[in-house]
Every structure is written in C-alpha cells, then in structure tokens.
Structure 1
C-alpha cells in the first residue's frame, strides 16, 4: 500500500492534506514523507512508524553512544553520504545497515559490493541519519579526501628536504593562520585535526600508532574520545608535518623524545600548542596540548568556587606575604586557578614575577620566565634571581624539590606573596609533604597562608539533562550520605545528548575545591609535628569542606551527576 494511503486510512492525515502534499511533490520532486513533515501534517516519529510498515523493515533509533567505531571504516565516507546509509553493527557475515530508504536496492548492492557482506536494512529518520553522518563521517570524509590525494605518494621527510625548503616552515615567532589552508594534502589533514579539536573544546590531541592502526583521540572535558583512524601509511607524514610546524624539532630523529611548541590561529583566535613526541615500538606518539587563550577563564567566580571558599582564597592572596599552595593531580586546573589569582593581583603598583615550565599563557603586565633545564636554569635558580628583582608577588610553577621549596618559603617569609603548586591528594596532607621534603616545621608553620586542593568535574549539559531518581544502593557503596541529597532535584546526563554537548550529555568542567586557611591553632599543630589526620580533624572543626562534600553541593545545584561525583572523588 502507498504511504499516503496508509496515513489517510490510519487517520493520521486527511484526504485533502494528502492531495495538497501530492501537488507539492509534483512541483518539487521531493519525497512525500519530507513534504508531509514540512507542511506540518505529520511528525517524523509518526512517519517512521508507517515507513517501517510500508517497507516491512524494523525502525530503529540509534544514538551516538550505540555506534561501534570499529565498523565505520567498512563504508567509505563519500559512499555513506551518497547512499544515506550508516553501519550499525556486524553479525557474522551480515551488516546491519541503517537507511533512510530501505527500498534503494542500488545502495544496498553498492554496500554489498564494497564490504563483501550481506546487508540487513533497518530504517531510521532523516534527521537521525544526518546527525550520525555529520558526527561520525564528517571528519572521516575530510580525511578520505586527503587519503585519496596522497595515494601512491611517499612522505618520508629527511633533513635535506627540510633544508632545501621543499616544505614551508614557519618562523617560531610568527603565527600560522589555519584559515588559509594550502593545497598540500598532509598540511590540510594536520590543519583539520587541530582546528576540529579546538572547535570541539578539546584540551589535548593524541596521535597514537599501533601495530596496524593509527588512532587519533581528543580529550574533551577530561575524557579521551576516539575521533578517527587515518590510513596507517600516513603516520610518518603526520608526525613529520607536526615537527616542522614547531620549527625546533629534528624531523629525521625518531629515536628519542622531543618537545616543542606551535603558535597558530584558528578562526582568527591565537592558539598555542605544546607538543610532546615519544618513540614507541610502533612509531612516534604525539600529544599536542591545546592552550586556547580565548578560553582561559581569569574570573575566579566563573571557575566553580563556592562563595565561602572563594572568600577564603581571596583573603589569602590579598595578604602582602606568605605562601599559597594549590594541590592536585595533573589536569586538575591548578594553573588556571593561579593565573586567575594573578589576574586579580595584576595592578600597576604590583610587581609580579613568574617562573614556569613551560609558560602556558602570556598575561600583559606580568613578567614571566621559562626554565631551561638544559643550561641549568631551574626553578631554584630563577627564584634566587627573583629575590634581587624586588617583586611583590612570585609564582612558582611547581615545587618539585627541597631546594625550590626552601627558597620559596624563604621568599614568603621575607615580605613576598608566593603562589605555587604541589602534588598531593588533599589539603591536610600537603603540610607533611613539605616536612617530608626536608623543610623544618617552624618554617612551614610560619610561611603558609592557605592550601587548596582541587579537581575538575564535568558539568552536565544544561540543555538536555534529565531528572534522576536517587540510587540508594549506589550511594551507599560510594559512601555518600543520601540524607544530604533528599529534597533536592538530582540530574543525570542524557544518554542521547544533544548538539550543544556534542551528544555526550556533558559540557564544560567546574572546579571542586577543598580550601584550608592556616589558623593560629593549625600553625601550633604544624610546629608540634601533628600528623595529617590530626591536622584534618582540626581543619574540619574550623569549617574545612572536603572535595567530596564540595562536589555534592554542586550535585544539589544541578551542575553535575552522581556518576561524575563518584568518578572524581572516589579515590580521595
């Protein structure tokens, strides 16, 4: 039975509406279903149900998280777009294939020929097909163009090729504008990988060679996501291009780790990339850390501080001297917090010096210094020099050793405000970490203003989040007090996601903090070598809120999910 007649018989549309749609079809040659939707006579979900009956194939609603990335390569991107098909899964010698038009037998034959598999069609809506093709085949479509252009070419670059200028090398101090893509295939591919990562808000790009696969992953909101697997033969060309862009790396050297930096523009915005390359058994692995100056939040109220914790932190950095430490693992937002503090302190009457490894962001009005271990210019040497420069505020990128800690504390005790980071799990344990490094307790006691531990937690997408029931069993297993959450609306990430969050259910991150000002009582306890548990107990009496408790406050405010609270704070 014809689709229009089925809809009329079912009472979904009237005879008049069908005739009007058929008249429109004669003018436009569009599909009847599309016209009925455009005219507002049927909804897409209704139409899909009747199309399933008409074609006698199941209707499905596949979501991004249901996609098996391993089978995407079975169908070339151009073929998927041309035929409007999407592979769902493979069952032995049969490919389950989502189609907009399951009666398109030429498309089915083309997929059979290309994959050498039997095809079992299912039907999905046009909007769902468009979303899947745009999300999973858009980038691979770009890569496919490059792979076609590079077919039969070799990209083994050596020093001679670089020296003769056969590949354009940017001067280190100049910026390379990615909006002006060149025609060279590998340059276009690397450009695309970087611009796509920036637009997706990625913090890192990982390019990883394995035995037979080259994998590219982006770290978005702290979680790695596979974005594509380019042709394996391109791996050396991609790495060589990245080395050339740094202007400092040895293209011919593949046996030792190398570090570099790239300055570029994406959509007119300046971007810095910190590049690290290491040799693995299957080739060189690349990690590019994206430092987007436009995305750096220097307003501390935007970082996720609860008002009381922000007040404590501001009070500590507004003192004329003393040591403020921010602690947490790599990627916990320590640098962003300290840069925000510097931005708040950055005034014409204040002299600020920083020593960093490396300098991640340049801030006008602040004197920033980068260490150079190769010539012996380390944190300790820089700090000694700083003390002769009459600074008001000093930032030390990281306290890594006893010498750096000693000089930083000496500076804090001689009229300077010193900000730094250190690696510990929480605020109370930082005290004994300094003492274990060889710093005398009386120096630790006298110098400390405040210690802040922090983590970064993903924010649930505010556009598609869903109210959730409290899972008492899960909360008990995670040692979370369910009574604290009762009466509050708790949200879960939408498993389908939406375009705003790139179909992940999460968008952006927020800081979870544990702020411990050093009171006179705590100073006395440190002086008397109190252990970490004793310091924690006293700090709790004085109002210390743990990382877990701070995360739960954000959960109650609808900013995150139970799963994210557990993920971020479970090991603390």
Structure 2
C-alpha cells in the first residue's frame, strides 16, 4: 500500500464528507496542537464521523475495515509491539504470516507509526482499519492477557519447580482456564515475593493488583476491567462465598499448597464505587517457626520473656498495632510451651497456623462462639495454658485475669502504643486495678521495622536535627535506601522486630493496685532501667544503619 502521496483531507473532500474551509480550520488547529492527527481533529469538530472517515480511507486505499470485537487476536503477534507503542499510535497487531504483520490502525496515513513498526519488528506491515475506541479497548484486553501469561510464567520461575494446588478445589471447564491461570499466577507471585496480602482494586478504567511486601504496598499487575468480575468470581468460588451478592462485604477462606507447603488464604470482599475490592491474606498453616531469631529478638529480651513464662499462672500480653507480628510471637511462645507436659488451648479469630499438641478453636460469631464464650468453655477443659487471640472487650478481659488468678497461664494481645499503656487499657476496659495488679505477669510491646535494602543502601551526612532527635551529637553518618529493582524501588528489604518488655515486679504491682498515675510507672521503669523503650531500640537500629531515619520518625510519632 503506497500512501505517502495521499492526503486524508483530499480523500474526505473528494468523498464529499467535508468542505475546503473545514479542512483549513482543522489544519490551522493542528499547527497549534501538533500531537493530534488531522482525522481525529475533524472527528472532534464534528465535521465527519469516524465511520465516514474509515469508509473513505477504506475505499481510497483499498484497505479492509474490521470489527475487532469479533476478530480473534494472535497474542504472539501482538506481543511483538510494546504496549506503550500500541497506545502511542492507537494500533494493535492482530496476526502474522510470511513475515507480514497485520496491524489494525485508526490512521493508515501515519507514516511514522508504520515506519516504527517496521524497525521494531523487521517485518512488512499490512494495515487494516478499526475505530479508535475499539482499538484502545482491544489494546487493554490483549496486553492484559499477555501480561497475565507473563505473570504466570514469572511466578512459576520465581522458585524453581514451584507448584500450586488447591486443597479443596472445584471442577473447572475449558472456558475458565484463563481466569484460573490468572488467579494461580497471582497467588504464586504473591507467595514467592513474600507478600502478606494481595489487593485486587477496581477503578474507573482498570483493575490494579497490588502486593503488601514488608509492610509496603507495591504495584504488581494492571488488568482491563472486563476481567475484574471473573477474577473476583473465581476467588469467591474458592472461598465458598456468594458470587451473586455484590452489595455487602463477605469473608471467607480457602487452602492452597505451594511446593508441598499448605497455607490458608483468608479472603475479604467489599463493594466500592467501581466494583468489589478483594483482599487475600496468606496465613502459613504449617511453616516451622524460628524460635530465637525470627524477629531479631536479642538474647536479653528472649531471656526476659522466658523468665515471665516460668510462672505457672498469670497473664502475659503482647501489644502493638495491626500487622506488628503479635500473633506470630504468640505462636512462637505456644510452640515452645507445648514441649512441657501441659494442656494448651486457644480461642482465635482466625486460626492462622496449625500447632502440634495444641487445641485450637476458631471464633464463630454467627454460631455465637465469641472470645468470651469460647474462653468460658476452655476453662472447663482442664487447661494449663490458655491463649486468647485478642482481648477485645471487658468480658473477655475480666475472664482472662480471673483465670490467671485461679492458676492458669494466659497469653493474649492488646492494641496499645507501648508496654506500660497495657495497664491503663485494662483499667479502661473495666478490670479492677487489684485484679490487674495480681494477675499481670508481663507485657511485651512489639513493632516491625523495615530494614534498608542492602543493594541500594547509601550513606549521607546526618543533619543537626537528626543528631538531636537520635540523642547522638557526635554522629556524622546515617543511611538510607535509594530504591532499586531488588526492593521494588522502596529502599527497604525485609523487616526486623523491636521489643519493649515490662516485667511486673512488686513495686509496679503496688503502683497499679493503689491506682497511682501511669506516669509513676513510667518514671520507675526509666529510673531503674527495667525497660528499654521502643524509641531507644529503633534509634540504635538507625545509628547502626539497619533502618532509616524515616522509620525512626514514624515509630517515634506512634509511641508518643
């Protein structure tokens, strides 16, 4: 097709679709905005419809007009052109034969586009015509399928020989395969990247899949919206949720097995403006726990916790915000305690990990099995050690402390900013001070701090303000992460834990039972050195170059 001496304006005038003055007006506008093609300007002005434009071009150039919605796209052919080039020139390869690439275009007179395609592919370019909007929609859909295939392939390569299966799967037909493969690839990628959560978020023009890695959300995949509902439906079916109900939130779970390791995936959907958002959280059911070092716990902190657990009765609380690793620390403690000749029972929401020799019970609010109801029932099961997943209300808190006083070791979690605040929190929940004083053995406040990526770690000169905040006037150098492909350009890779451990002694018990101000407890532990504050721990990590000033400031803001 020789087109270099053909002008679109002449074609439309000869076809009787536009007048000379309309053409001149469009040409004048094009001089102002050179990024727009003449045909697009004429359509925008309303001088010609897109169908008329394509019909005139088709007749004059002897080029076929295609309805891409009814045309199968060869993904291998489409993949020869990068997606950004396809969007830039509004075109999509649809097939190839004998070194000829068939490309659907909106403007066959765009010589620069055709020449770029020749250079990129080293192939002859055969043009067919299609409407702009249909081409754009086809680009989104086609490259989504290409990316889904790439994602599945990449996920399978992340761990050599990686395989995924569903413990309780459903029968699928051949037509479901693309969505099934997409869900599998997303789960594999999330697991292999070390993600704790997978977010599937619908927006006006696209669906974005993001992963939470080391506490940060990173983009993973962008999908065309026409795949969104099928993707959500597949996850709902796996989770035994109602696929027809899109108006209310739903929660479910399913089990997967990756490389022989079984894990629970908790799913949660919620309706948004553009459709249902889905979050999947990985709960590793049978992964062994690293008792001494999983959270960077030093020997001193570890020994303090061991000493607390020597008592046959009392309450030990693990405190911190959501996502600070409280439950995993509890599991670590339980697995260690299970080596004794004791009966251990738990009430959890949800059960995140299967522990040997431990009786674990799942909260079921619909059936009336709440934390307090479950705790009462456990007390009739002759337990030595009880774990309550979370102390959420006055009833649960009261039963827990009374259980401790009557001879049980109770472990639970609270949401407080630091260890000492747990005392105030229990009193605010209505537990009498004398019960708190007599039952509480210790409190462990915990945070997860992001570590600077070792691949892009760089030094810089510490400012006077930074020296003052860290309490180190002689400090000269601090560290940060520039961001690289290893850390998804976040500057961080991995996390470590810091702890603030409050062991309850006689003096603290007296202060609690006498209802003394909480400041008195703070002053006592500070003067005696019985507690190393979280702020001091993260400051040490910052000075040593393990974490950044950004993390120090974030934690300092939270605990103050």
Superposition TM-score, scaled by structure 1 size:
0.68
Q: Tell me which residue corresponds to 1:145.
A: 146
Q: Secondary structure at the match of 2:373?
A: helix
Q: Tell me which residue corresponds to 1:151.
A: none
Post-superposition offset of 1:281: 2.5
State whether residues 143 and 230 of structure 1, in contact with CA within 8 Å, keep that contact through their aligned partners in structure 2.
Answer: yes
State whether residues 112 and 118 of structure 1, in contact with CA within 8 Å, keep that contact through their aligned partners in structure 2.
Answer: no
Larger Rg: 2
Residue by residue, what CA displacement relative to the aligned partner does 1:371-409 show, whole Å, maximum 9, x if unpaired? 111121111111111112121111000001111001100
Q: Tell me which residue corresponds to 1:550.
A: 537
Structure 1 pair 374–221 and aligned structure 2 pair: CA distance change class (3 A): same
Structure 1 pair 356–490 and aligned structure 2 pair: CA distance change class (3 A): same
Q: Secondary structure at the match of 2:558?
A: coil
State whether residues 396 and 419 of structure 1, in contact with CA within 8 Å, keep that contact through their aligned partners in structure 2.
Answer: yes
| Structure 1 gap ranges (5+) | 1-75, 96-105, 122-139, 149-169
Q: Tell me which residue corresponds to 1:481.
A: 471
Q: 1:568 aligns with which of 551, 555, 559?
A: 555
Structure 1 pair 334–522 and aligned structure 2 pair: CA distance change class (3 A): same
- Quick one: distance in 2 between partners of 1:392 and 1:86? 63
State whether residues 464 and 498 of structure 1, in contact with CA within 8 Å, keep that contact through their aligned partners in structure 2.
Answer: no
Post-superposition offset of 1:533: 2.0
Structure 1 pair 86–536 and aligned structure 2 pair: CA distance change class (3 A): farther
Q: 2:193 aligns with which of 196, 200, 205?
A: 200
State whether residues 315 and 441 of structure 2, in contact with CA within 8 Å, keep that contact through their aligned partners in structure 1.
Answer: yes
Structure 1 pair 516–177 and aligned structure 2 pair: CA distance change class (3 A): farther
- Quick one: distance in 2 between partners of 1:117 and 1:147? 32
- Quick one: distance in 1 between partners of 2:460 and 2:215? 23
Q: Secondary structure at the match of 2:345?
A: strand
Written as runs of structure 1 = structure 2, the 5 A alignment for 1:245-394 is: 245-246=238-239, 248-293=240-285, 297-347=289-339, 349-394=341-386
Q: Secondary structure at the match of 1:486?
A: coil
Q: Tell me which residue corresponds to 1:220.
A: 213
- Quick one: distance in 1 between partners of 2:329 and 2:346? 14
Residue by residue, what CA displacement relative to the aligned partner does 1:217-253 show, whole Å, maximum 9, x if unpaired? 111100111222201111111111001011x211111
Q: Tell me which residue corresponds to 1:538.
A: 524
Q: Tell me which residue corresponds to 1:522.
A: 508
- Quick one: distance in 1 between partners of 2:234 and 2:168? 17
Q: Secondary structure at the match of 1:458?
A: strand
- Quick one: distance in 1 between partners of 2:493 and 2:257? 24
State whether residues 396 and 418 of structure 1, in contact with CA within 8 Å, keep that contact through their aligned partners in structure 2.
Answer: yes
Q: Tell me which residue corresponds to 1:491.
A: 479
Structure 1 pair 146–506 and aligned structure 2 pair: CA distance change class (3 A): closer
State whether residues 456 and 491 of structure 2, in contact with CA within 8 Å, keep that contact through their aligned partners in structure 1.
Answer: yes
- Quick one: distance in 1 between partners of 2:326 and 2:106? 53
Decide which moves more: 386-395 or 285-294: 285-294
Structure 1 pair 445–553 and aligned structure 2 pair: CA distance change class (3 A): same
Structure 1 pair 268–176 and aligned structure 2 pair: CA distance change class (3 A): farther
Structure 1 pair 83–511 and aligned structure 2 pair: CA distance change class (3 A): same
State whether residues 304 and 510 of structure 1, in contact with CA within 8 Å, keep that contact through their aligned partners in structure 2.
Answer: yes
Q: 1:401 aligns with which of 368, 374, 393?
A: 393
Q: Tell me which residue corresponds to 1:233.
A: 226
Q: Secondary structure at the match of 2:293?
A: helix
Q: RMSD of the TM alignment (CA)?
A: 3.6
- Quick one: distance in 1 between partners of 2:232 and 2:366? 24
State whether residues 348 and 388 of structure 2, in contact with CA within 8 Å, keep that contact through their aligned partners in structure 1.
Answer: yes
Post-superposition offset of 1:471: 2.8
State whether residues 554 and 560 of structure 1, in contact with CA within 8 Å, keep that contact through their aligned partners in structure 2.
Answer: yes
State whether residues 249 and 268 of structure 2, in contact with CA within 8 Å, keep that contact through their aligned partners in structure 1.
Answer: yes
Structure 1 pair 554–295 and aligned structure 2 pair: CA distance change class (3 A): farther
Structure 1 pair 354–175 and aligned structure 2 pair: CA distance change class (3 A): farther
Q: Secondary structure at the match of 2:524?
A: helix
Q: 2:168 aligns with which of 146, 154, 174?
A: 174
Post-superposition offset of 1:564: 2.0
- Quick one: distance in 2 between partners of 1:369 and 1:413? 23
State whether residues 75 and 146 of structure 2, in contact with CA within 8 Å, keep that contact through their aligned partners in structure 1.
Answer: no
- Quick one: distance in 2 between partners of 1:207 and 1:464? 29
Structure 1 pair 522–143 and aligned structure 2 pair: CA distance change class (3 A): same
Residue by residue, what CA displacement relative to the aligned partner does 1:471-496 show, whole Å, maximum 9, x if unpaired? 333454xx33233x727x64321x24
Q: Tell me which residue corresponds to 2:495.
A: 509
Structure 1 pair 325–569 and aligned structure 2 pair: CA distance change class (3 A): same
How many residues were matched structurally?
A: 432
Post-superposition offset of 1:289: 0.7
Superposition TM-score, scaled by structure 2 size:
0.70
Q: Secondary structure at the match of 2:412?
A: strand
Decide which moves more: 336-345 or 465-474: 465-474
Q: 2:237 aligns with which of 244, 247, 257?
A: 244
Written as runs of structure 1 = structure 2, the 5 A alignment for 1:83-162 is: 143-145=144-146
Q: Tell me which residue corresponds to 2:431.
A: 439
- Quick one: distance in 2 between partners of 1:232 and 1:249? 21
Q: Secondary structure at the match of 1:256?
A: coil
Residue by residue, what CA displacement relative to the aligned partner does 1:483-517 show, whole Å, maximum 9, x if unpaired? 3x727x64321x24253x45543221111211111
